[in-house]
Amino acid sequence: MRNTQASRVRPGLAWFKSRYSGDEGGNCLEVAACPRTVHVRDSESPDAPALALAPTAWHRFLTHAAPDRCT
């Protein structure tokens, strides 16, 4: 599997938003983690294609997007 690909959302995935997401709308991502793939989608377009990432790619993203790195 490549590190990233677009895919149709599989039914039955358990989607989660960040605990930093508020209820006031705006741009939010939702994530569904599976053993070999991390699915990422736009919370405002849940039926649109989602990204399917290798766990290592997701880990690299989180390393760079961690809240303590934002100023």
pLDDT band at 3 (very low <50, low <70, confident <90, very high): low
In the prediction, which pLDDT does 55 show? 93
In the prediction, which pLDDT does 1 show? 43
Question: Residue 29: how many CB atoms within 10 A of its CB?
Answer: 15
In the prediction, which pLDDT does 56 show? 93
In the prediction, which pLDDT does 22 show? 64
Tens of pLDDT, residues 16-65: 887 666 666 666 889 999 989 999 998 888 888 889 999 999 999 888 87
Q: Where are the beta strands (DSSP E) in 1-71?
A: 4-7, 16-17, 29-33, 38-42, 50-53
Backbone angles phi, psi at 52, to 5 degrees: -115, 115
